[in-house]
Amino acid sequence: MAASQDVKDYLACWFQLGKKVIFPKTHKSRCPAVVLGTRGYSQEFERLWAEIQQSPQDCYLEGTDQSVKELLSEAWEIVACARCTLPVPAGHAHIPCPGCPCADLDLWPNLDLPLPHLPVNGILHLQRLQCRLLDLDSEDA
């Protein structure tokens, strides 16, 4: 079973490549402009994730057939795509579904571009350093 965090990270990666989440009932599709915040995910992404969790049966990632609800069920797991290494849904026995979301991205995988990434504590560490430097600055003034 895919953990909710795995599904969240999966969506976050693909949003960074411009994929949208589709809400068929309301004919809406959404992709947050900013996925990563300074400490984890952006507010915009967290709000969208909250919305997705409210009706997981009604939304899925553009280019895939599995609703978020299905991904959260026993039948699915999130694994790394053999072609692009990004997280993709896989059924039982870790067989990746034929439709990796990367299949319709012409310029993907592109090894010249940084891969989408997940929030890391390193960013927080950098921020603390920055704060300390700013403190030092103001002491000098």
Residues engaged in binding Zn ion (CB under 5 A): 81, 83-84, 100, 102
CB of 104 or CB of 135, closer to Zn ion:
104
The tokens for 36 are 């990563």
CB of 21 or CB of 42, closer to Zn ion:
21
- Nearest approach, Cβ of residue 48 and Zn ion (Å): 22
Number of CB atoms found within 10 A of residue 118's CB: 15
Torsion over CA of 106, 111, 116 and 122, rounded to 10 degrees?
Answer: -170
- Nearest approach, Cβ of residue 91 and Zn ion (Å): 16
Q: Report whether 29 contacts 51 (CB < 8 A).
A: no
Say how many residues make up the chain: 141
CB of 7 or CB of 42, closer to Zn ion:
7
- Nearest approach, Cβ of residue 79 and Zn ion (Å): 11
Residue 104 and residue 13: Cα distance in Å, rounded?
A: 15
Q: Which amino acid is at 115?
A: L
CB of 81 or CB of 123, closer to Zn ion:
81
- Nearest approach, Cβ of residue 9 and Zn ion (Å): 15
Residue 71 and residue 49: Cα distance in Å, rounded?
A: 14
